[in-house]
A = this chain, B = another copy of it.
């Protein structure tokens, strides 16, 4: 198995990428190789800082990189030699099995859609972000790809999230909740009220009802379904709360020295632990990491990509969605 890793994605690239890749290779099965994509001179220099470079780490040259100013949709046309486009093209051509990047979320999404294509039966691929709770992490889907959704899209997200939770998060029967303003059926606006009715009848989904904002951290479900507007607002708020809390604490505290309570707080807030966010519903594995990812987050994202490939997540998604009756009328 070969996993492509964008070497130019994080804010501090390529340090977190190279370190994270080396860490991943020490813990992953020996048939897994990592292909770092980016400027080969820069990457080899960074690799040279480490005493050992395993044979399973490769470099594939990409002469260009996507920057903050690039329009996401035009990256594939205007920057064909950027690390994002090169890495995803390698997957399209079957040279690698997965792609991991901490670069521009919009560019990764747009280029993944173009190269890997939507799965048959999927109208809208969605980003699923694993977030920590007081128990196990849950998957928030959609966390930003689709700001306007129809009920049928949310049902598709429920399928995609369930398959992901089962095959890469290890949940035998993933519990799916619908994000809403109250627990009772019928709560919320038209979108969620209609979605509730569809999910309650949908085969292949273990729907456990509505979840309110206050329920998310309690770890009582595995997949939380919402439209990408609410999901994105919530995700960015969560990240900022974590940063606001951890930064004043971090300046003066050492987490390993802390007693149980504060250690739990750190664990709940630390989303680096959960790895990257997969773009689900495309015909390949594309994992999006935070631009501020430390090596540990990159290492975990590579592990996630490996699990997704090993479990044939994409194949399961296609079969699961293919058997669903829920499609948006007039779309193919």
Contacts and interface: CB of A to CB of B under 8 A. Distances in A.
Interface of A: 134, 144, 147-148, 179-181, 188-190, 192, 212-218, 226, 228-230, 232-241, 244-245, 248-249, 251-253, 259-262, 264-265, 268-269
8 contacts: A179-B233, A181-B232, A213-B235, A214-B237, A214-B239, A218-B240, A245-B269, A253-B261
Contacts of A235: 213
Contact of A213 (B190, B228, B234): B234
B252 A261 contact: yes
B241 A217 contact: yes
Contact of A188 (B229, B237, B251, B265): B229
B248 A261 contact: yes
A144 B180 CA distance: 11
Contacts of A238: 213, 237, 241
A107 B198 CA distance: 30
Q: Chain A binding site: helix, strand, loop or mixed by DSSP? A: helix
A134 B233 contact: no
A226 B233 CA distance: 11
A231 to B, nearest CB: 9
Given A217-B241, A226-B233, 16 more contacts: A144-B181, A147-B181, A147-B189, A181-B228, A213-B233, A213-B240, A214-B236, A214-B240, A215-B240, A229-B230, A234-B234, A238-B241, A244-B265, A245-B269, A248-B265, A252-B259
List of 4 A-B pairs having minimum Cβ-Cβ separation, nearest first: A213-B236, A248-B261, A213-B237, A214-B240
Nearest to A228: B181
Contacts of A189: 147-148, 229
